[in-house]
Amino acid sequence: MIPFLELKSRFRAIEPEVRSAIDRVLDRGWYVLGEEVQHFEREFADWLGVEHVVGVASGTDAIHLALRALGVGPGDEVITVANTCVPTVTAIEAAGARPVLVDATPDTLTMDPDGVASAITPKTRALVPVHLYGHPCDMDALMPIAEEHGLMVVEDCAQAHGARYRGRPCGTFGHAAAFSFYPSKNLGAYGDAGAVATGDSKIAERLRRLRSYGQEDRYRHVERGVNSRLDELQAAILRAELPHLDAWNQSRRMLAERYDRLLEGLPARRPAKAQRADSSWHLYVVRTQHRDALRTHLKARGVGTEIHYPIPVHLQPACAHLGYSRGHFPVAERAAGEIVSLPLYPELAPDDVDIVVHAIGAFQP
């Protein structure tokens, strides 16, 4: 049996560190926005190479609050990509702005810069590129478009902890970057958690207010905020994990390269990466004809798979009011019918990759 994802082995590998982190919090008796959160914010900022990190309750809130902190709100349009998961769009709407979608490029399945250029209107205020699967977007093409039109850029880094573009970490290109620490992400809490990274101290300051009911100091509320705080237990667990993140990402890379090599010549190939992009390999996604039959075949051999994502956001009932329909984003629509994510996590054995690929090789449509 090779499950699609197995989180318990991650815990077992660092169990003493996690247990002592949890004990530290319990012994202290301070549970929300305390010492652990402060330390984690500093340590994650240092790891990423940014000035400021502000912990929040989820990746969705990180996108939402980053947009608000940058002054994006009602009446504004925010461009993102149809090939993402729903929370990217939910977050834009939570900020009060209107999501405008563009298609992905057929080779990489990430945000199409030409699509962005033609979606810009006088109301466009911001761009949310999504480094999907951990594959960086074509930032050399996107950033000049944003600069030319004076757009704010919030990178959706929920799958991109450790991804690099031209050697520079994803999350350091835009005005702000949103990270999710949902348990399955490359850096995963034991519950919901997220953070915004930014180089701008004013933005960071505003984020600290927004996450805590708009409070500037105790019981003095200067703007309408939300409750989106990072708790001490999650921050302590994330601190225990952070020193292992580079090694975990290295393990993902090694396994992904093994998939690349072994899948050569088989009719299941991953999308290309943008030029100069180093993935964080959050997911190993391949495209294939007869996707559903292949999944059934793999399941019968004990190999778990998932689809990220089976319905492009513009065809989700929750997004119907945006006014898009089938045919609007052919690249994202076609990909949704062909993609399948194979098992990939740091604790996966290289032999397991061989078994998965062998099972794919034995598939007869």
Ligand X SMILES: *Cc1c(COP(=O)(O)O)cnc(C)c1O
Closest separation between CB of residue 72 and ligand X, Å?
Answer: 17
DSSP 133-190: GGPPP-HHHHHHHHHHTT-EEEEE-TT-TT-EETTEETTSSSSEEEEE--TTSSS--S
Sign for the pseudo-dihedral over CA of 28, 11, 161, 291: negative
Beta strands 176-180; 152-156: pairing state: parallel
Residues 267-286 that bind ligand X (CB under 6 A): none
Taking alpha carbons only, the member of 283, 260, 269, 273 closest to residue 338 is 269
Residues 55-74 that bind ligand X (CB under 6 A): 58-60
Is residue 170 a contact residue for ligand X (CB under 6 A)? no
Closest separation between CB of residue 244 and ligand X, Å?
Answer: 20
- Distance CA(78)–CA(93), nearest Å, equals 9
Closest separation between CB of residue 70 and ligand X, Å?
Answer: 17
Closest separation between CB of residue 157 and ligand X, Å?
Answer: 8
Which residue is closest to ligand X by CB?
59
- Map residues 94-133 to x or -, x wherever contact with ligand X holds by CB under 6 A: ------------------------------------x---
Closest separation between CB of residue 216 and ligand X, Å?
Answer: 26
Cα–Cα separations (whole angstroms), residue 118 to 102, 106, 123: 9, 17, 13
Is residue 180 a contact residue for ligand X (CB under 6 A)? yes
- Map residues 190-229 to x or -, x wherever contact with ligand X holds by CB under 6 A: --x-x-----------------------------------
- Distance CA(153)–CA(126), nearest Å, equals 6
Is residue 85 a contact residue for ligand X (CB under 6 A)? yes
Q: Which is nearer to ligand X, 331 or 360 (CB)?
A: 331
Q: What are phi and psi of 196, to 5 degrees?
A: -110, 135
Is residue 134 a contact residue for ligand X (CB under 6 A)? no
DSSP 258-287: HHHHHHTTSS-BPPPPPTTEE---S-EEEE
Q: Which of 116, 128, 158, 313 forms a contact with ligand X (CB under 6 A)?
A: 158
Q: Can you give the binding site for ligand X, defined by CB under 6 A?
A: 58-60, 84-85, 87-88, 130, 156, 158-159, 180, 182, 192, 194
